[in-house]
Structure 1
Amino acid sequence: MRSKGAITLAVLVLILGFVGCVSTSSYNSLVQTDEQVQEAWSNLQAAYQRRADLIPNLVETVQGAADFEQETLTSVTEARAKATSIQVDAGDLDNPQKLQQFQQAQSALGKSLGRLLAVSENYPKLQATQRFSDLQAQLEGTENRITVARRDYNNAVRRYNTQVRSFPTVIFAGLMGFEPKTPFEAETGADQAPDVDFGGDS
């Protein structure tokens, strides 16, 4: 009986040791992929903020160089104000509703900015100014950064969510506070940077 009890105890110790090793490994791996998601989100936010920072200069340049359509300028200014008012930190990435609000605000800003750029084509003198040309180049670069950062974020989220739902990590993930993250569900065509050509070389 004593021998059988010792064997049972040894088996239990081995099982607990195995579970401990697996849970520790799963935790460390989840921490790593979670940090990758946070870094990717930070980069995406920085890209959107850079676009928002360019808009006041763009609006000022347009106002100073032409009798521009006030409604279009107001639309861009209001959309920028709304987009920058919605803050999403790393702790909100498992909240689909909050992330959707952020996405919708950024999409609305992009559309308003697109309308401003389209109307700008009706003002050749404005397009010919050096400052406007410089803003064009900066904006185009920023839109490219947004596209890349959005793609990187979604890739990081996909890797993280796959890990969270995979066995045996799925057994421990919820208990350790690791919930699935929300991907950035952009509109059709948002995986490509928009055309911001103001009528230059064609």
Structure 2
Amino acid sequence: MKYLKLSRLLLVAALVTQLGACGYGDLHRASADVDRAWLDVRHAYEADTRVAADALEVAQREPGMDHTAMDAANLAYLRANATPLDLKLAGDPQAFDQFKRTRAELTGALHRLLAEAKKHPALQGKAAIAALERNLREQDSQSQARVRYSESVTRYNTLLSQFPERVTGKLLGFDPRPQFVRTAEGVS
């Protein structure tokens, strides 16, 4: 009986010491890097969402604004913000694709709203409209955050495809992470 307990203890100790050699630590660090990069993406999108909300509020108060553009922008805003920007989203390829589509729809609707707002001189001096225009023109914070996220996902997915990390990843539930993809229209 003592011999059986001792042999089990030695087996567990041997397995624990081998975890470093099987790539678990590297996978865990790479996964944490992806999570941190996703949080940067989340913060960038949240900041852009605040700018869009302010501009929508100002534009809604303007008499004579095209209701079609306003309704489209409001609907796109609601759709884009219906998906919580949590870490689960970054690990679910279908939800991630939906997130990218709704964000692209929002960007398009905001561009159309901005074009409509330019027809109204009273809106030209509004800080919220100027901030939206600047935000849509530059998109720096989102772009930089997406690049950092994509680079960390590339490192993680590459590590996950190598031996012995591939085996460790399969056994411990490390799955590939989705990427932002550059298309002819931009990043989706």
With normalisation by structure 2, the TM-score equals 0.80
- Corresponding residue for residue 198 of structure 1: none
**Residue of structure 2 equivalent to 1:55:** 52
Q: CA deviation at 1:20?
A: 6.0
> Does residue 172 in structure 1 map to residue 168 in structure 2?
yes
Is 2:30 the counterpart of 1:33?
yes
Q: Distance between the aligned counterparts of 1:185 and 1:82, measured in 2?
A: 21
Structure 2 CA distance for aligned equivalents of residues 129 and 74 of structure 1? 20
Pairing 1:109–2:93 present: no
Mapping 1:42-191, distance limit 5 Å: 42-137=39-134, 140=137, 143-191=139-187
Letter in 2 for 1:151: V
SS of 2:76's equivalent? helix
Alignment partners' CA distance in 2, 1:186 and 1:106: 14
Relative distance call for 1:107 and 1:186 in structure 2 (3 A) is: farther
Helix, strand or coil at the partner of 1:175? helix
Any stretches of 5+ residues in structure 2 without a counterpart? 1-9
Residues 39-92 of structure 1 show CA distances to partners (whole Å, capped at 9, x for unaligned) of 111111221122222222212222334521111111111111111111253234
Aligned equivalent of 2:3 = none
Q: Residues of 2 paired with 1:30 and 1:94: CA distance?
A: 15
- Per the TM alignment, residue 30 of structure 1 is displaced from its structure 2 partner at its CA by 0.8
Between the aligned partners of 2:97 and 2:168, the Cα distance in structure 1 is 28
Largest Rg, 1 or 2 = 1
The alignment-based identity, stated in percent, is: 24
Q: Is the 8 A contact 2:35 2:87 kept in 1?
A: yes
Q: Structure 1: any 5+ residue segments left out of the alignment?
A: 1-12, 192-202
Q: Calculate the TM-score normalised by the size of structure 1.
A: 0.75
- Counterpart contact for 2:30–2:152, Cα < 8 Å: yes
State the match for 2:7 in structure 1: none
Distance 2:55 2:18 in 1: 54
State the SS of the aligned residue for 2:174.
Answer: coil
Change (3 A) 1:118 1:23: same
| 1:85-114, Cα deviation, whole Å (9 max, x unpaired) | 112532343321111111111111111111
Q: How many residues align?
A: 175
